[in-house]
Amino acid sequence: MPVITLFSGNYCKKEQITKKLVEKTGYKQIGDDAIVADAGKISGMPENKIKKAFEAKPSVFNNFTHEKERAIAYMRLAVAKMLSRDNLLIDGFAGQLIPKEITHVLRVCLIADMKFRTSVAVNDNGLSEKEAISLIHGLDSAGAAWVNTLFKNNDPWDTSLYDIIIPVDKTEMSETVTIINDNLSSEVIKPTSSSQKSALDFLLAANVEVALANEGHTVGVSARDGSVTLIINKKVLMLGRLEEELKSAAGKVPGVKSVETRVGKGFYQADIYRKYDLELPSKVLLVDDEREFVQTLSERLVMRDVGSAVAYDGESALNMINEDEPEVMILDLKMPGIDGFEVLRKVKQTNPEIEVIILTGHGSDADEKECMRLGAFAYLQKPVDINILSDTLKQANEKMRQNLKEMK
């Protein structure tokens, strides 16, 4: 039988919904406390120390003690062990520890707008409105920190984390329960041999993670049929030595057939955003959902000493603008989700100094007009001559520098 995970904003009637859901489905409810207790039993760590992993800020000593990472590793193991049982409703933060590959888990998120949540807090808990708002903001940021710890994503309500997101302010409670219950019988959620296998892989990965955490190592661990992949997400000069040590430690875990190590995003990144040539922009953001095309383009630009970063959809592009402050953008128009027009519009609203070059394979004259009206710097058609693109980048860079001067 499937498993439900339930992640909810505070003051979204979660308690009542969970109760009704348990009555209807007969599932056993497991909260964070139970998982913390289990993790405590397996690890011998005190429960209050494990619980600290849910807090936004780790202890200042965490860099040396790695207590938070150990706590999370043990909680992951506790959850992985639990998954061998059926009919579970895992509610709370710990449900986020289950990887997506286990498809017989129905990931549910309950959320409501601020007005609704404030009124629940005021009515049910007798708080003042001001207290309620500040409390909710505080609790939400804990949720955001947790999601950030696990996925480097600051949005706990991100749609990619769930199968269904139910706005409880716009949905009757009984309907919410019905929606979740109906989804349980959906074909997609049914346990299959491959989803069961994923659950076993998850258990193996969790065991490896714990073994490594006990040796003081924090790495990303995934497993497939006994083959374990370790991702090193930090900068380490003596990489070869670390890889050897990780391989040897992971290889000792029962059930591990082979170990492979890789470096992840946190490792030294080659040459991204390096300033070589003032004429060419050093920070170009490439936005295109055609991965192969955009990667090739990125490599060719790097060969010309242009630092480039890549986003595969509009949403990530907009996020990167705030974080990475590109100088010039090369933008495709047709993308799933937020399309190029929308990205262009938003960028020009929030960061008008960034120059945007449209590079599209299927644009019409009307598209070109619209883009120029929205403030694009240039409109190019695929396939593009790299020399033309390079020249356009130079011009866009010059314009961008002027923009900055004018802003000062």
Partner 1 sequence: MTKKELILQVATVFFSKNGYFETPMSDLSKKTGVAESTIFYHFKSKENLFIAILERVKDDIIKEFEGYMTEKEFDSGLDMVEVAVSFYLYLAGKMENQFLLLHRHYPYKLAEINPVCRAHLESIYDCLVDIFERGVLLGQKDGSIGNMPTRKVALIIFSMVDGISRFKTYNLYDAGALYNQLIESCRRILKNDKSE
Q: Does 238 bind partner 1 (CB under 8 A)?
A: yes
Q: Does 239 bind partner 1 (CB under 8 A)?
A: yes
Q: Does 263 bind partner 1 (CB under 8 A)?
A: no
Minimum CB separation from partner 1 for residue 236, in Å?
9
DSSP-assigned beta bridge partners for residue 227: 224, 258
Single out the residue of 357, 267, 282 nearest to residue 326, CA to CA. Answer: 282
Radius of gyration of the chain (CA): 24
Q: Which helix (H) or strand (E) holds 31?
A: none
Distance from chain centroid for Cα 234 = 18
The token duo for 95 is 């449900």
Q: Which is closer to partner 1, CB of 84 or CB of 268? A: 268
Distance from chain centroid for Cα 343 = 20
Q: Does 241 bind partner 1 (CB under 8 A)?
A: yes
Question: What angle in degrees, to the nearest 10, is found between the helix axes of 193-214 and 67-82?
Answer: 150
Q: Which is closer to partner 1, CB of 60 or CB of 238? A: 238
Choice from 26, 46, 240, 352 touching partner 1 (CB under 8 A): 240
Minimum CB separation from partner 1 for residue 405, in Å?
26
Q: Of residues 355-374, which lie at the interface with partner 1 (CB under 8 A)?
A: none
Q: Which is closer to partner 1, CB of 57 or CB of 241? A: 241
CA 262, 263, 265, 270: dihedral to nearest 10 degrees?
-130
Bond prior to 383 in cis (omega within 30° of 0): yes
Q: Does 60 bind partner 1 (CB under 8 A)?
A: no
Q: Which is closer to partner 1, CB of 151 or CB of 267? A: 267
Q: Which phi and psi (to 5°) does residue 153 adopt?
A: -135, 130
Q: Which amino acid is at 388?
A: I
CA distance 124 to 381: 59
Q: Does 264 bind partner 1 (CB under 8 A)?
A: no
Q: Does 235 bind partner 1 (CB under 8 A)?
A: yes
Choice from 33, 225, 244, 299 touching partner 1 (CB under 8 A): 244
Minimum CB separation from partner 1 for residue 274, in Å?
6
Write the binding mask 138 to 177 for partner 1: x where contact by CB under 8 A, - elsewhere.
----------------------------------------
Q: Does 274 bind partner 1 (CB under 8 A)?
A: yes
Q: Does 268 bind partner 1 (CB under 8 A)?
A: yes
Q: Does 339 bind partner 1 (CB under 8 A)?
A: no
Minimum CB separation from partner 1 for residue 252, in Å?
12
Q: Does 303 bind partner 1 (CB under 8 A)?
A: no
CA distance 339 to 259: 40
| DSSP-derived 3-state class of residue 145 | helix
CA distance 76 to 88: 16
List residues binding partner 1 (CB under 8 A): 235, 237-241, 244-245, 268-271, 274
